[in-house]
Amino acid sequence: MQILAITDIHGREHFDNTIAKAISNADIILIGGDITNFGGEKEATPILQNIHQLNNKILAIPGNCDQHSVNKLLISKGINLHGESRTIDNITFYGFGGCSKTPFHTPQEYTESEIEEIMNRFKKTDARFHILLSHAPPAKTKVDKTSMGLHVGSKAIRKFIEAFKPDLVVCGHIHESRGVDKIGETILVNPGQFPKHYAVIDLDENIEYNFY
């Protein structure tokens, strides 16, 4: 399976032909939140439509900069992964949108205990791969560091990864922390801000990834 991982769109509706081809060629699109820039259903709809026209195999979560009406939109379109799990082609996907508390009081923030409570509902399956799509990165990693050098990821998400041991985590939120890291054997991928950046992940016997 080839996964196109995109995140932190922040209201950008348009992308070039190279990205359109990558969207069309992917087996599934993972959208990691911040679809809008503090917008709601109205702002998110054309962005999702542009992607859907090229590829309707989408799983998505909201980001902290998405209003709660975006959650309702994802649910209505049947692509929501926030607080849910889906098994597709021997891969189980899990999702958590929004982020842990920030000083900025953005639309979708959760306490660490709230994050832990929701994620503790996830159960391992007998699928070949287990993948977590999380807007917020796990704490104390290369993918949660701000330009000021501060680690601002979620402790609860890190705790979940350490216990659950998913094969792959796709996250976003911290634009400047585009890159890869590991917690144990779990690979962490932050694709960077779309459409300037994205990641293509190939699942076969192993997990291979490329950044663009």
Please state the domain extents for the chain: 2-211
Q: With bands split at pLDDT 50, 70 and 90, how would you rate the model's confidence at 121?
A: very high
**pLDDT by residue (tens digit) across 6-51?**
999 999 999 999 999 999 999 999 999 999 999 999 999 999 999 9
Supply the pLDDT for residue 72.
98
Are 10 and 36 in contact by the 8 Å Cβ rule? The answer is: yes
Supply the pLDDT for residue 110.
98
**pLDDT by residue (tens digit) across 158-176?**
999 999 999 999 999 999 9
Q: With bands split at pLDDT 50, 70 and 90, how would you rate the model's confidence at 149?
A: very high
**pLDDT by residue (tens digit) across 75-118?**
999 999 999 999 999 999 999 999 999 999 999 999 999 999 99
Task: State how far the Cα of 196 lies from the Cα of 67, in Å rounded to an integer.
Answer: 23
Element of type H or E holding 112: helix 112-119
Select 2-211's CATH number: 3.60.21.10, 3.60.20.40, 3.40.50.2300, 3.20.20.60.
3.60.21.10
- Chain position carrying tokens 């330009």: 147
SS (H, E, C) 69-105: HHHHHHHHCCCECCCCEEEECCEEEEEECCEECCCCC
| pTM of the predicted protein model | 0.97
